[in-house]
Amino acid sequence: MRHFKKHNSIGQEEVDVAKQVLESGVLSGFMGEWGPNFYGGPWVQKFEKRAAEFFDVKHAITFNSWTSGLVAAVGALDIDPGDEIIVTPWTMSATAMAILHWNAIPIFADINDETFCLDLASIESKISARTKAIMSADIFGQSADAEGLMKLGEKYNLKVISDSAQAIGSFRNGSHTGTLTDLGGFSLNHHKHIHTGEGGILVTNDDEMALRAQLIRNHAESVVGKAEIKNLSNMIGHNFRMTEVEAAIAFTQLPKLDLIIEKRQYQANYLDSRLSKLPGLLVPKVSEGNTHVYYTYGLRIDPAIIKITKWELVEKLTGAGVPNLSPTFANLHLLPIFQQKKAYGSHGFPWSLDGVRKDISYAKGICPNAEKLLDETFFQFYVNDFDLTEDDLDFICCKFEEVWAQIF
């Protein structure tokens, strides 16, 4: 069995800086009260400054996870219970759960079946009088159509959030993915390009939303009085704070990102050059104006050409020695929480709220592209797990070619 070297962005620099923080005895500089320590300790503030400069935004706000960052982002929008937010089904569950956290209603739009990002026409068809925002996912490592999303936002007076958890360091028309909408952000959990174990970064150029996100991060309800905050909507705070150790590691990791991405793009380009020649296999499509950082390498098959199911194909490839393939992904609208419309308590809240539309459906069929991908055509190679050498890439491509020789 061939051994593939695991991706590990942690080096001696991170060990040294973590040791420095540990020896200082100050593992968190946050205090849940208004004052200098409301914004965190020195490493948190140093990293936030470095991140804001790196991503070219006014505000970079750290969190203990990107899930927490998403919760704060939705709360920062000043939405009410029962409001609707349009979201992709093709992402990790935290994206939709951040909407439910505030008793708002996720409305799932379909995705583009080539890029896996939200489809603009499907979004527009889902907009109602209760719609307040769009939450897009820049899935697998490239941006959605941020300009198109913002045009919809302007047309219908909607805010737009980019969940760029998997796309840190990618670009859209020369700007960092995640920075072209009202709010965006990135994950720093353990299998991302760079990581702090757990962590997240929210980015925005909006001063008011930045402050609201910071308040939600750090016990807003205890702070708003002294901070003279007038808008108390969603000022229920949390402890979503990043520690000094995590921030110091992040500060050291961020300068490594470009080199890590360069290696990942080389790996993907090598795979493209070989796998694109196999009949019926479709390699990742990179949208015009985008760069792609390949958190995962998403593949599709053409069932009209390949006469076995994708499930059988993945089994054959795995048996041949190709590592970390998966034929599954998300269709969030099909999760039990949406099928049964039960989130808080046992009586259907928040869908049972007065004013919530009774015709909201999460039935199979509402997102046909996403559903067909999962059922028939999509599988992925988790390149994020490995630092692949050219020999590794050659081995993987040879195994694909061997399996294709068997099935044709």
Residue 13 pLDDT more than 90? Answer: yes
- What is the Cα–Cα distance from 363 to 179, expressed in whole angstroms? 33
pLDDT average, residue stretch 225-241: 96
Distant-in-sequence contacts of 230-234, Cβ < 8 A, 24+ apart: 231/78, 233/78, 233/80, 234/75, 234/76, 234/78, 234/79, 234/102
Amino acid at residue number 35? G
DSSP helix/strand/coil, 324: coil
Q: Give the number of other Cβ atoms within 10 Å of residue 6's Cβ.
A: 9
pLDDT value of residue 1 = 81
For strand 59-63 and strand 200-204, is the pairing parallel, antiparallel, or unpaired?
Answer: antiparallel
Q: Where are the domains of the chain?
A: 12-255, 257-329+368-407
- Provide the pLDDT for residue 394: 98
Please report where in the chains the tokens 């692949």 appear, as a residue: 388
- Show Cβ contacts of residue 78 under 8 Å, excluding neighbours closer than 6 positions: 212, 231, 233, 234
pLDDT tens per residue across span 345-360: 999 999 999 999 999 9
**What type of residue sits at position 293?**
V
- Distance (Å, rounded) from C-alpha 250 to C-alpha 66? 14
CATH of domain 12-255: 3.40.640.10
In this structure, the number of other CB atoms found within 10 A of the CB of residue 401 comes to 15
| pLDDT digit string, tens, across residues 49-89 | 999 999 999 999 999 999 999 999 999 998 999 999 999 99
**In whole numbers, what is the pLDDT of the chain averaged over residues?**
97
Under a CB-based contact definition with an 8 Å cutoff, are residues 213 and 73 in contact?
A: yes
Interval 132-181: pLDDT, tens: 999 999 999 999 999 999 999 999 999 999 999 999 999 999 999 999 99
Q: Who's near 255: CB < 8 A, 6+ residues apart?
A: none
3-state secondary structure of 246: helix
Q: In whole angstroms, what is the distance from residue 265 CA to residue 109 CA?
A: 29
Name the CATH superfamily for 257-329+368-407. Answer: Aspartate Aminotransferase, domain 1 (3.90.1150.10)
